[in-house]
Chain A
Amino acid sequence: MKFTINWLKDHLDTKKNDNELIEKLTDVGLEVESFENLNSDLDNFKVAKIINVQQHPNADRLRVCDVDIGHQDTIKVVCGAPNAKKDLFTVYAGPGSIIPKNNMKLTVSKIRGVTSYGMLCSESELNLSNESDGITELKSNEYSDKIGKNFFKNTSEKVVDLSITPNRPDCLGVRGVARDLVAAGAGKLKNISSKNIIKNGSQKIKVSIIKDKNQGCTIFGSCLIEGLTNKESPKWLKEKIKSLGQKPISAIVDITNYVMFDLNRPLHAYDADKIDEEIIVRNSKKGETFEALDNKKYKLNDDMCVISDKSGVLGLGGIIGGTRSSTEINTKNILLESAYFLPRSIRKTSKLLNIDTDAKFRFERGIDPQSIEIGLTKAAQLITEICGGKISKFDIQKTQKQEKNKIKFNISLFEKITGFKVKDKEVIEILTNLGFEISKKKLDLDLKIPTWRPDITQPIDIVEEIARIKGYSNIETLEPEKTRIKDTLNKQQKLFHFLQRSVASKGYFETVTWSFTDSKINNLFKENLKEIKIVNPISSDLNVLRNSIFSNLTFYLKKNLDRGFKDISLFEIGPIFKDRKPGEQLTVIGAVKSGKVSRLNWNEKDRPVDVFDVKKDAIQTLVETGYNRQRFFIRDKSPNYYHPGKSGSVYLDKDDLEPIAYFGEIHPNIVKKLDIKTEGLVGFEIYLDYLKDHKIKLKDQKSNFEYSDYQKSERDFAFVVDKNYKAQDLIAIISSIDKNLIRSIKIFDVYEGEKIPNDKKSIAINVTIQSSQKTLEESDLEKINKLIITTVESKSGAKIRS
């Protein structure tokens, strides 16, 4: 919503200066986006100095000038003026400028093969004089410090630009803004000057509102103005239209626009001679078409509110008029429309057809249904003043009675909500200034709501009115109470928080990527989840919700590899989506690692990252989170985006059905498809939703501290087992032999090759044996030794390696 302060003063009698008014606007909730001079065409004309002049290579009469326009570099301008010479101060017009004399718009152009950026102007071109032989010469002593400055003083008024919230249609007109300022004590509201206009004769074009289902129009007011002469608008009106940031068109169009922005009363003018007999306001039928004033053809659906005549649709009521009945400069007779359209109907139609106009914007938010006649009067008066013509009597068709809404307001509600008090007298004054009609009954106020405030429907709205006019600065700042109702974080949130920092502490950079991704990449990682399409994606490569965090992680990993990074560790903790209903999502940690360990290291040999790097990180993270490593169970099953032989899944317990984590090398096919170039690419995922609550809590008392000081013994074994045999099973067998004596089991070598059959491998194990009752004798040790060998051999089919 744009206007000048002077326009505001058409309605507001005030002693406040501009800045005070601007501040008041903000205080009452009309947010000031800007308060600036309108960009004038004349701002394009700059004081310039010619630095150098050269002969044009291809034209005798042209010269190429290097011109200083206050920028860092000079620019080249081709000039034919004989007086263009070095060190001359003159006026430069850049590309985009409009030359006052002939309204020509400048562009960057090639003149005989040399590009010219703008032009140097003669006095006649600037409408300064008739001097057209040569460019303007400015006195160097006056202009030497003004290079690059505007040549013309900007005389245009400053324009206020308000950002009006959708609840305040009344402030989409200057008068509504003035009314708010009056209520806030900025002055007095001026009466609308209503010189009596003479209305002669009836409105001869019949208007009818058809009683269609969901008819979008409830009032249609109109008048005929006959025998007028449409013309260019007078200067004052042009200025107003320009201050809105719009282009003046003709007096009739400009006046209807002016009244809309002045009183928030949209109007429409039809060329009365183009109307076929009568005006029929009705619902459209599917397939009807018409050409709108935006020069587009629209095909209508059923039940859109249209203004039509005998021949068909003239316009979409309250949204846009049509070309068939539009006014032109030679229009002689007009029908002026001032109507009320229901917001819901306007919104539905404009959404379907994707049309946005100033009228639509206003009707959609709710226009004052009682402004029909005020609007007709003001527009008709201005039109006859400027264009002449005779005004008919007003014809008002109505399908329902308009009554003012009423509210009972208990004044005590105000303090209850805002925490501060305003005197009853002041409450009444504020509401009266805002246009409420009030009758007081003890503590209750009976309020009639002004018809321009469709947003006000209940007592809480009245609280806001009083509060904003009185000023939010009156609200106290109360110290916050520190009472807590519930723990800050629940179990799952604590887990999230802990895991996040646990993974980061292992050298991973946390990233946050979008919850959507490219379906092509997502397909590589979605396993058996459903693809969830976004109907209106921001771009075609962000068209699905992610089924895995890996799609984005690998995408961005590649970007960083392309930046020249090699050894990258990235992770994200966030949602992945199983399906498209609320709640069908999981919280997952995804982590990827590329390149090598110990690259370019002076004391350690480098190697590519591998599955055991990420296994370590995943397992250690879970251990830090409080889960018991001894109970973990690893399976070699994992989703298909992992390397089938170099990946696994982690179960908190052997009997669990759901794994809580996966780890492994990313499938080489995927690495190839994504064109990722690195020595190694591994990753892991942890599913927070599958992590069970700990049975033993940190707050619980710990078990008794028991320890043994008896001598420990270590024994080494090497078992030859089938190649596919799992080390985890071997350890399980040994640890179950004697839980009291076997304290720890470590695998210190795995060997395949010479001296071992092709389908076998050798696993070397170190077992620590210690009793808590006595020092073990050689014979005890020998016994347990033998037991380990026989048990392993019988349960696993292994052979001890001699």
Chain B
Amino acid sequence: MSDIKKIKNEYLNKLDSDLNVEGVNLIKTELFGKNGQISNYFKKLGSLPNDERKKFASDLNSIKEELQDKINSKIQEIETKEINSKLENEKVDVTLPEREINQGKIHPVSQVIDEISSIFSEIGFSVEEGPDIENEHYNFSALNTPDDHPARDMHDTFYLDDNKELLLRTHTSPVQIRTMLNGQPPFKIIAPGRTYRSDSDQTHSPMFHQVEGLHIDKEINMGHLKGCLNYFIKSFFEVDKIKMRFRPSHFPFTEPSAEVDIGYELKDGKIVIGEGDKWLEILGCGMVHPNVLKNVKVNPDKYQGYAFGIGIDRLGMLKYGINDLRAFFETDYRWLNHFGFDPLDVPSNYRGLSR
């Protein structure tokens, strides 16, 4: 018995000394290998008398366990030490730049269209579209703007044929016509899209964007129109209060017609919407002209309602402080990066229009 205790103490001491993994394995073989010291004692067990054997076996087992634990913890200790010393040499400069991710951008016009759609979705409008190429009828005549109407001169039209039959739509209003011809009232739609006029200077671009609105039902009057636009403008500019003014105006396809101004003030050279005593014209609207309803086979004695048209690019310019309309379409990488939006910033009702 004392022999094995001696062995135990001897090896425990050995294991406390500075060893590497090989050293520990050597000890392991010396103790538990085929002819290991502890193994040999186990072999002797059979030759011991019964009464001694039990006690000896128990002692031997506990010593074996103790030594094995010691060996395991020693190995672990060595490994940890080895890893730690290895890590000392593995330090990197974490201030070096991360691997590149190229962030994409959404064009402000697209973002604004999504914002507009989200706002109108909340009050029950659905989105309709129409072709960029229109014929004379949908773009003008059906909208109560016959050929000899001077209002046509206000639209500098791009034509695709010499008969002036095919053209690039000058406004999104033909979508009204297409929508009403293809369905039955009530109608409650917006129609954002590209529009074209052969006009090009600092404040005009030959292509720009409009959103058309149309709500036709049995009892829709100018009060609903005002309420709808008031709701939209407030939501779009994300302000609680808005100053809005309806001014009588004229569009052949609405009667009565109005232009809408919103109040603003200049702060540090930027336009701030909502307060202030200056007026800014932002859209045209009115009650859909009975002639238009007749043209699309809707009975004007039964149905009535409003329509409006808003310049999308201009709304974006106002909201996001963009000065130059033409820059929208010039694909300057710096501009797109500066004014563009992260694709994850999806305007929505529940999350809000913007971050």
Kindly state whether residue B135 has any CB partner on chain A within 8 Å: yes
Kindly state whether residue B159 has any CB partner on chain A within 8 Å: yes
Kindly state whether residue A784 has any CB partner on chain B within 8 Å: no
Kindly state whether residue A20 has any CB partner on chain B within 8 Å: no
Tell whether, in the assembled complex, residue B150 and residue A508 are in contact, meaning their CB atoms are under 8 Å apart: no
* B101 neighbours in A (Cβ, 8 Å): 507
Tell whether, in the assembled complex, residue B96 and residue A602 are in contact, meaning their CB atoms are under 8 Å apart: yes
From 144 to 167 in chain B, residues with beta carbon under 8 angstroms from any chain A beta carbon are: 148-151, 153-154, 158-162, 166
A569: contacting residue among B102, B149, B248, CB under 8 A: B102
Kindly state whether residue B243 has any CB partner on chain A within 8 Å: no
Instruction: Describe B's contact surface by its main secondary structure.
Output: mixed
Tell whether, in the assembled complex, residue A481 and residue B133 are in contact, meaning their CB atoms are under 8 Å apart: no
From 189 to 220 in chain B, residues with beta carbon under 8 angstroms from any chain A beta carbon are: 194, 196, 198, 200, 206-207, 219
Kindly state whether residue B70 has any CB partner on chain A within 8 Å: no
Quote the shortest CB–CB distance from B332 to chain A (angstroms): 7
Tell whether, in the assembled complex, residue B131 and residue A582 are in contact, meaning their CB atoms are under 8 Å apart: yes
**A468-B248 contact, Cβ under 8 Å, with A420-B223, A477-B230, A503-B104:** yes
* B123 neighbours in A (Cβ, 8 Å): 480-482
**A476-B223 contact, Cβ under 8 Å, with A509-B104, A585-B131:** yes
A478 to B329, CA, bound (A): 37
* A483 neighbours in B (Cβ, 8 Å): 124
Kindly state whether residue B277 has any CB partner on chain A within 8 Å: no
Instruction: Describe A's contact surface by its main secondary structure.
Output: loop
Tell whether, in the assembled complex, residue B104 and residue A480 are in contact, meaning their CB atoms are under 8 Å apart: no
Kindly state whether residue A419 has any CB partner on chain B within 8 Å: yes
Kindly state whether residue A696 has any CB partner on chain B within 8 Å: no
Residues 418-430 of chain A: 1 if any B CB is under 8 Å from the residue's CB, otherwise 0?
Answer: 1110000000000
B110: contacting residue among A488, A512, A585, A602, CB under 8 A: A512
Tell whether, in the assembled complex, residue B99 and residue A166 are in contact, meaning their CB atoms are under 8 Å apart: no
Tell whether, in the assembled complex, residue B194 and residue A26 are in contact, meaning their CB atoms are under 8 Å apart: no
**A501-B343 contact, Cβ under 8 Å, with A468-B256, A506-B104, A565-B333:** yes
Quote the shortest CB–CB distance from B134 to chain A (angstroms): 6
Tell whether, in the assembled complex, residue A515 and residue B221 are in contact, meaning their CB atoms are under 8 Å apart: no
Residues 553-584 of chain A: 1 if any B CB is under 8 Å from the residue's CB, otherwise 0?
Answer: 00010011001010011100011010011111
Tell whether, in the assembled complex, residue B104 and residue A166 are in contact, meaning their CB atoms are under 8 Å apart: no
Kindly state whether residue A443 has any CB partner on chain B within 8 Å: no
Q: Nearest residue in B to A461 (C-beta to C-beta)?
A: B255
Q: Report, as a range, how many residues of chain A touch the other chain.
A: 35 or more
A582 to B139, CA, bound (A): 11
Tell whether, in the assembled complex, residue A582 and residue B124 are in contact, meaning their CB atoms are under 8 Å apart: no
From 511 to 535 in chain A, residues with beta carbon under 8 angstroms from any chain B beta carbon are: 511-516, 532-535
A168 to B249, CA, bound (A): 10
Tell whether, in the assembled complex, residue B159 and residue A535 are in contact, meaning their CB atoms are under 8 Å apart: yes
How many chain-B residues does the 8 Å CB contact rule pick out? 92
Kindly state whether residue A365 has any CB partner on chain B within 8 Å: yes
* A461 neighbours in B (Cβ, 8 Å): 255
Quote the shortest CB–CB distance from A476 to chain B (angstroms): 4
From 17 to 50 in chain B, residues with beta carbon under 8 angstroms from any chain A beta carbon are: none
Kindly state whether residue A504 has any CB partner on chain B within 8 Å: yes
* B117 neighbours in A (Cβ, 8 Å): 488-489
Kindly state whether residue B308 has any CB partner on chain A within 8 Å: no
B100: contacting residue among A481, A511, A598, CB under 8 A: A598
Kindly state whether residue B269 has any CB partner on chain A within 8 Å: no
Tell whether, in the assembled complex, residue A347 and residue B186 are in contact, meaning their CB atoms are under 8 Å apart: no
**A418-B247 contact, Cβ under 8 Å, with A515-B196, A603-B99:** no
**A512-B248 contact, Cβ under 8 Å, with A480-B228, A485-B124:** no
Tell whether, in the assembled complex, residue B224 and residue A480 are in contact, meaning their CB atoms are under 8 Å apart: yes
* B224 neighbours in A (Cβ, 8 Å): 419, 478, 480
Kindly state whether residue B273 has any CB partner on chain A within 8 Å: no
Kindly state whether residue A227 has any CB partner on chain B within 8 Å: no
* B150 neighbours in A (Cβ, 8 Å): 166, 343, 347, 364-365
* A515 neighbours in B (Cβ, 8 Å): 132, 168, 194, 196, 207
Kindly state whether residue A53 has any CB partner on chain B within 8 Å: no
* B121 neighbours in A (Cβ, 8 Å): 484, 488
Tell whether, in the assembled complex, residue B331 and residue A28 are in contact, meaning their CB atoms are under 8 Å apart: no
A502 to B344, CA, bound (A): 9
Tell whether, in the assembled complex, residue B127 and residue A507 are in contact, meaning their CB atoms are under 8 Å apart: no
Kindly state whether residue B271 has any CB partner on chain A within 8 Å: no
Quote the shortest CB–CB distance from B209 to chain A (angstroms): 8
Residues 253-271 of chain B: 1 if any A CB is under 8 Å from the residue's CB, otherwise 0?
Answer: 0011111000000000000
* B198 neighbours in A (Cβ, 8 Å): 536-538
Kindly state whether residue B287 has any CB partner on chain A within 8 Å: yes
**A484-B126 contact, Cβ under 8 Å, with A468-B256, A501-B343, A512-B110:** yes
Quote the shortest CB–CB distance from A676 to chain B (angstroms): 14
| Given A463-B255, A476-B226, A570-B331; 17 other pairs, CB 8 A cutoff | A28-B248, A167-B250, A168-B250, A419-B221, A472-B247, A479-B231, A480-B224, A504-B104, A504-B343, A508-B104, A509-B336, A509-B340, A512-B329, A537-B198, A581-B135, A603-B99, A604-B99
Can you show 26 pairs from A to B with CB atoms below 8 A apart? A29-B247, A29-B250, A166-B154, A347-B150, A365-B150, A418-B221, A461-B255, A464-B248, A464-B257, A472-B222, A475-B246, A480-B231, A488-B126, A500-B110, A505-B343, A508-B104, A511-B107, A512-B110, A545-B133, A568-B333, A581-B166, A582-B138, A582-B166, A583-B131, A585-B133, A601-B100
Sorted from nearest, which 8 A-B pairs have the closest CB atoms? A29-B248, A507-B102, A165-B250, A419-B223, A556-B331, A468-B248, A464-B256, A504-B104
